[in-house]
């Protein structure tokens, strides 16, 4: 804690009385990330130009990646001893809790196969989304959109709950991380956020029906040689 800017007192015994806990405030995560980023950069990591939450360390032929989301951290690299060394350095600055091998991160499930491949799925995330929209008993379909189906902003039947539509569509957007085949149809339903019709909601429900049928599908990732 530091005294607020402009506050000047020679009495070192004075303390700040918090009227509200810092943890949970929207400013807290940003301040925490800035502090963590400063420590990581001091350890000779370089922040990625493509993703501000990704940090990279290179030492000859070895490389370590650190991905940070607030206080959730993924650490991996080509050298186990180098990864452990970095973890111990972080532990000297923060109180860390190591959760072992990566299996779940930000709604994405990670499964390691015996051949060294990784499978990324969002089964639980999709299941919760289907349950939220009361589509549990809906029949699954084999495609996210019917052929030649066209959406229009003109129509007589306006959808009754715009907030629900925007919330569900935003959630489906995140599913495209592991289901990139949805990118086109999700882009289509995103184009009608301002003027919502029942036909748009029907299109969204079909996407959910598709996800329900392919809930365990995901990305199969192979390491580069």
pLDDT band at 216 (very low <50, low <70, confident <90, very high): confident
Percent with pLDDT over 70 in the chain: 94
- Boundaries of domain holding 52: 11-100
Which two three-digit tokens encode residue 20? 């509200």
Q: How many domains does the chain have?
A: 2
- Mean pLDDT across 73-77: 89
Residue 109 falls inside a structural domain: no
In a domain, 222, yes or no: no
Count Cβ neighbours within 10 Å for each residue of 153-169 and write b for 16 or more, e otherwise. Answer: eeeeeebeeeeebeebb
What mean pLDDT value characterizes the chain?
Answer: 86
Residue 53 backbone dihedrals phi, psi, to 5 degrees = -95, 0
Alpha helical stretches, state H, 51-159: 80-93, 123-132
The predicted pLDDT at position 170 comes to 94
Residue among 121, 108, 35 at smallest CA distance from 70: 35
Q: Name the least confident of 46-50, 72-76, 187-191, 192-196.
A: 192-196
Does residue 2 lie within any of the structural domains? no
* Residues contacting 206, CB < 8 A, separation 6+: 141, 144, 145, 146
Query: Are 60 and 16 members of one domain?
Result: yes
The answer as to whether 112 is a domain residue is no
H-run or E-run covering 40? helix 26-42
How many other CB atoms are found less than 10 A from the CB of residue 112? Answer: 12
73 and 132 assigned to the same domain: no
Q: Are residues 44 and 95 in the same domain?
A: yes
Contact between 206 and 147 under an 8 Å Cβ cutoff? The reply is no
The reply to whether 171 and 141 lie within a common domain is: yes
Tell me, yes or no, whether 91 and 128 share the same domain: no
Cβ neighbourhood burial of 144 (10 Å; 0-12, 13-18, 19+):
buried
Q: What is the pLDDT of residue 225?
A: 58
**155/71 same-domain check:** no
- Asked if residue 4 is part of any domain, the answer here is no
Q: Is the per-residue pLDDT at 2 higher than 70?
A: no
Assign residue 34 the CATH number of its domain: 3.30.310
Are 209 and 125 part of one and the same domain? yes
Q: Do 206 and 125 belong together in one domain?
A: yes
222 vs 47, higher pLDDT: 47
- pLDDT above 90 as % of the chain: 30
Query: Is residue 65 in a domain?
Result: yes
| Order of strands, sheet of 54-59, starting from the edge strand that comes earlier in the sequence | 46-47, 54-59, 62-69, 72-77
Q: Are residues 92 and 148 in the same domain?
A: no
Q: What is the pLDDT of residues 179-205, one digit of tens each?
A: 999 999 999 999 888 888 888 999 999
- Give 3's pLDDT tier (boundaries 50, 70, 90): low
Strand partners, 221: 118
* Confidence label for 100 from pLDDT (cuts 50, 70 and 90): confident
- Is the pLDDT at 220 greater than 80? The verdict is yes
Model's pTM, two decimal places? 0.74
| CA-closest candidate to residue 208, choices 121, 140, 124, 106 | 140
């Amino acid at each position: 804690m530091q005294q607020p800017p402009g506050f000047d007192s020679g009495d070192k015994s004075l303390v700040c009385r918090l009227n509200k806990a810092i943890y949970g405030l929207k400013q807290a995560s940003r301040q925490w990330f800035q502090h963590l980023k400063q420590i990581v950069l001091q350890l000779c990591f370089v922040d990625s130009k493509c993703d501000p939450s990704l940090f990279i360390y290179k030492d000859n032929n070895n490389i370590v990646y650190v991905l940070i989301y607030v206080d959730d951290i993924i650490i991996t690299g080509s050298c186990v001893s180098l990864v452990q060394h970095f973890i111990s350095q972080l532990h000297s600055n923060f109180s860390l809790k190591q959760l072992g091998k990566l299996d779940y991160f930000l709604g994405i499930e990670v499964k390691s196969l015996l051949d060294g491949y990784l499978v990324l799925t969002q089964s639980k995330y999709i299941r919760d989304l289907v349950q939220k929209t009361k589509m549990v008993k809906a029949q699954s379909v084999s495609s996210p959109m019917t052929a030649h189906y066209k959406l229009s902003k003109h129509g007589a039947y306006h959808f009754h709950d715009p907030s629900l539509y925007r919330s569900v569509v935003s959630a489906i957007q995140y599913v495209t991380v592991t289901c990139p085949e949805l990118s086109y149809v999700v882009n289509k339903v995103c184009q009608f956020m301002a003027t919502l019709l029942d036909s748009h909601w029907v299109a969204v429900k079909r996407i959910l029906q598709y996800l329900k049928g392919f809930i365990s599908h995901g990305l199969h990732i192979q390491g580069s040689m």
